[in-house]
A = this chain, B = another copy of it.
């Protein structure tokens, strides 16, 4: 094929990507280099630096109004391109904050120094969500650099508090509904079920997290002098936690399942036909046997059934050697995942009532709620989902499958409810990306497949603009 003015827009874009490949990756390394851990107050400066850097990048690729917007928490980064008045508007959401990197001693390379390892880029946030966001940003850059325009209008909304439950995003969207008005939102913060198997996520679980502290007697006691005669709050905490599940792996909080919507046989058949097998899920988990509620596949247990995970516990002496004490207090962290039609506020009430009932009279407890988000479901047959399916096929050469995710993306129900638009969850992550865990990585071929898919998606939305508001 001859180069020159006869090149199609697609050829030009492909050639631009080829020519800038190394720079795209180098910039992503820079992005991962910011320790933008939203949960850790000591990282506040890193979060802000990351936001400023990101806004600068958006400005440089030709987006307008690129800015860092302060919130009572971490800033939101916005930008737009609104020069296609006849076309729909696509809202691109992402989050530049990351999970804590702890436990640090389990990382093979420093979490905030991105490292290339064959086809992978390793570092905290590589997949969740910096690498996946990056695909859209580089798609927009490529289109603007090669055509000087975009097929649709774009609004970018990149937050810095996703990993702590987006406390300031919902008020921000409520306040700026008009400035955020769009026809469809796209989020790449999910995963493909396997390499080269594009995947559209059509449901998410909701979530609510708690910190529970129990206290017994006034101070730590010597376990020799008092062991056997004073109730140990750490033992009580273990007993309470042990009592939160029954023998069948069900959550033993009265009323917990009352609002869980039962799925139809046809939906369960669809899931069985298209979703991951038990074997695949176990492989991804690095576990050799499953666990949980009987009567459901592992895929169902992690998507259409709620769950409770004990995410942390601490109490008593944890240093070197031995300290012979009865601790005065202990604490645990718990994370519930919810399904339609469970409401986080109601689950909180049920949990508090349960704790008040099971806690022995000599043990006091406090409970603090950290995170709450509703479950979300997206219609598989919406035209925006069909546009997404067609563009995935262009980006990866393979038709996507539709799956449910067990994760929670609080923004999804907020966008659906506040802006009244469909949300396309177009994942570029992989099951073995180890998000939230040590040695998180992102598969670099998915960065480039993601760029191609994102470009195709903007074109497909333009092409289907007549069907969008049927």
Where the two chains meet, the residues of A that have a C-beta atom closer than 8 Å to any C-beta of B are: 38-41, 99-100, 102, 106, 163-165, 205, 207, 209, 216-232, 234-235, 237-239, 241-243, 245, 249, 281, 284-293, 298, 301-302, 305-327, 330, 333, 335, 337, 361-362, 370-371, 405-408, 431, 434-439
Contact = CB atoms under 8 A, between A and B. Distances in A.
A83 to B, nearest CB: 38
Q: Which of A164, A306, A322, A330 has the most CB of B within 10 A?
A: A322
29 contacts: A39-B319, A40-B321, A99-B323, A102-B319, A216-B287, A220-B436, A220-B438, A222-B407, A223-B337, A224-B405, A224-B407, A225-B407, A227-B302, A228-B293, A228-B302, A228-B305, A230-B287, A230-B292, A231-B287, A231-B291, A235-B245, A289-B362, A309-B325, A310-B327, A311-B316, A311-B327, A313-B315, A316-B333, A321-B370
A267 B80 CA distance: 86
A337 B234 contact: no
A410 to B, nearest CB: 11
B225 A405 contact: yes
Nearest to A362: B289
Given A100-B321, A209-B324, A229-B307, 15 more contacts: A39-B321, A39-B322, A39-B323, A102-B319, A165-B322, A222-B436, A223-B307, A224-B406, A226-B281, A230-B290, A242-B242, A311-B317, A313-B316, A314-B318, A322-B370
A400 to B, nearest CB: 18
A229 B335 contact: no
Nearest to A435: B222
A411 to B, nearest CB: 14
A109 to B, nearest CB: 15
Contacts of A323: 39, 99-100, 102, 311-312, 333, 436
B320 A39 contact: yes
A322 B333 contact: yes
A31 to B, nearest CB: 21
B217 A100 contact: no
A271 to B, nearest CB: 14
Given A313-B313, A316-B313, A325-B311, A285 B234 contact: no
Contact of A317 (B100, B227, B230): B100
- Interface residues of chain A: helix, strand, loop or mixed (majority): loop
A288 to B, nearest CB: 7
Contact of A314 (B216, B226, B313): B313
A322 B291 contact: no
B333 A221 contact: no
A370 B224 CA distance: 16
Nearest to A225: B406
Q: Which of A227, A324, A362 has the most CB of B within 10 A?
A: A227
B102 A307 contact: no
Contact of A362 (B281, B291, B318): B291
Contacts of A322: 39, 163-165, 209, 311, 333, 335, 370-371
Given A301-B229, A309-B227, A437-B222, A285 B238 contact: no
B321 A38 contact: yes
Contact of A223 (B217, B219, B335, B362): B335
Pick the 9 closest A-B CB pairs, nearest first: A39-B321, A228-B307, A224-B407, A218-B286, A312-B316, A231-B291, A242-B242, A227-B307, A217-B287
Contacts of A307: 223, 227-229
Contacts of A337: 223-224, 227-228
A90 B458 CA distance: 92
A229 B282 CA distance: 9
